[in-house]
């Protein structure tokens, strides 16, 4: 196949189209975040990804086709699978089909945009990113804060080395280190902003300790993204974003608690109920009870007028962490994490 040579005009048009799509799909997105998507390209960070063919996965490179279909996929607002069963797409044999399940992926730009908008990064902010991944979000954080104040960690060497190289090629030189994300990175603390890409069952104590008072923590918990403000007493409190979060655990040993079977499997497809069900699953797992009745859980969600994830609060302290919901009549519910 001939090598595809994308012109500067094609690459610029792709970024403009993506920024426009992200802006249309995210309510109230700040102009600074939109500008970051215009300025930071996506394609250098996802040079190879998998596409599905009849249930199998084929690594797709820019030179596999003689048109701009690869570029259109890279700049589409969708997930790009980068790993299958731990095999990264760039390490897969060209043209080789693989079975298995996705183990790493580049998040849809619209979800990145919503997260970055909620994080409210300002120039000069000290930022800690937990989970480097492809490095695309890292680059966006560098554009918003300045690379000199951005630190990114990942637990495995491959994404650290690959992202470090791609960031340098794109003109960004943040601190990218291999570390267990649950430990944060104390050498650069305190941080004004902490953002995690992997789901946790509780906000790690290290993140609370390393976040400056008044700083923000953004992290997936229970299938939703919590936006928390660090208080002077050491706690971090806040609410959840409206959009669901990816269920990739920060620590592979802490997979999300599975939902029990339902009489009508369609109830689990409702994104609003999935968060409610996840809270009950977490509570059941914490109590050692795997016999929860998912249909009864669904009935309780309906009885409470189908509360949405953004109506819930999270109070995360060093010792006790609790998700709460207050109904319009003043009734309160809570789940200890």
Q: How confident is the model at residue 287 (pLDDT cuts 50, 70, 90)?
A: confident
Give the separation between CA 266 and CA 11, rounded to whole angstroms: 41
113 or 259, higher pLDDT:
113
Instruction: Count helices and strands (H / E) in the chain.
Output: 9, 15
8 confidence band (pLDDT: 50, 70, 90): confident
pLDDT value, residue 278: 84
**Are the beta carbons of 58 and 95 closer than 8 angstroms?**
yes
pLDDT for residue 4: 46
Omega within 30 of 0 (cis) for the link into 171? no
Which residues, in sequence order, are bridge partners of residue 81? Answer: 50, 105
Q: Is it the case that residue 1 has pLDDT exceeding 60?
A: no
Q: Which of 184-198, 229-243, 253-267, 310-324 has the least mean pLDDT?
A: 253-267
**Interval 180-189 mean pLDDT:** 96
Q: Where are the alpha helices (DSSP H) in 172-293?
A: 205-210, 271-286
Listed in sequence order, the residues at least 6 apart from 29 whose beta carbon sits closer than 8 Å to its beta carbon are 22, 23, 113, 114, 117
Q: Is 161 helix (H, G, I), strand (E, B) or coil?
A: helix
Mean of the per-residue pLDDT values of the chain: 88
Query: With 70 as the cut, is the pLDDT of residue 221 above it?
Result: yes
pTM here is: 0.91
Give 93 or 308, the one with higher predicted confidence: 308
From the number of C-beta atoms within 10 Å of its C-beta (0-12, 13-18, 19+), residue 17 rates as middle
- pLDDT at res. 264: 62
What pLDDT is recorded for position 2?
39
């Amino acid at each position: 196949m001939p090598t595809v040579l994308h012109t500067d005009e094609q690459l610029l048009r792709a970024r403009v189209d993506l920024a426009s799509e992200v802006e249309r799909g995210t309510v109230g997105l700040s102009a600074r975040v939109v500008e970051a998507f215009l300025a930071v390209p996506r394609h250098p960070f996802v040079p190879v990804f998998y596409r599905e063919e009849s249930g199998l996965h084929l690594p797709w490179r820019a030179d596999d086709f003689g048109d701009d279909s690869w570029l259109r996929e890279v700049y589409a607002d969708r997930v790009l699978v980068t790993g299958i069963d731990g095999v990264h797409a760039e390490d897969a044999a060209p043209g080789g089909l693989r079975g298995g399940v996705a183990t790493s992926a580049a998040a849809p730009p619209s979800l990145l945009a919503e997260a970055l908008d909620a994080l409210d990064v300002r120039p000069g902010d000290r930022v800690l990113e937990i989970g480097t991944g492809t490095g695309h979000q890292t680059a966006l954080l560098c554009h918003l804060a300045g690379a000199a104040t951005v630190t990114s960690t990942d637990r495995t060497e491959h994404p650290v080395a690959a992202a470090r190289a791609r960031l340098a090629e794109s003109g960004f030189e943040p601190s990218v280190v291999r570390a267990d994300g649950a430990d944060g990175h104390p050498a650069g603390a305190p941080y004004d902003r902490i953002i995690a890409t992997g789901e946790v069952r509780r906000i790690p104590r290290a993140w609370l300790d390393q976040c400056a008072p008044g700083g923000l923590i953004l992290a997936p918990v229970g299938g939703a993204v919590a936006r928390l403000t660090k208080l002077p007493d050491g706690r971090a409190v806040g609410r959840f974003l409206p959009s669901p979060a990816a269920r990739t655990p920060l620590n592979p040993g802490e997979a999300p608690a599975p939902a029990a079977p339902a009489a009508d499997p369609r109830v689990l497809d409702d994104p609003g109920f999935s968060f409610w069900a996840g809270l009950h699953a977490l509570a059941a797992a914490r109590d050692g009870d795997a016999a929860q009745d998912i249909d009864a859980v669904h009935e309780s969600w309906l009885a409470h007028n189908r509360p949405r994830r953004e109506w819930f609060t999270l109070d995360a302290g060093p010792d006790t962490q609790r998700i709460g919901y207050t109904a319009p009549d003043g009734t309160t519910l809570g789940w200890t994490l």
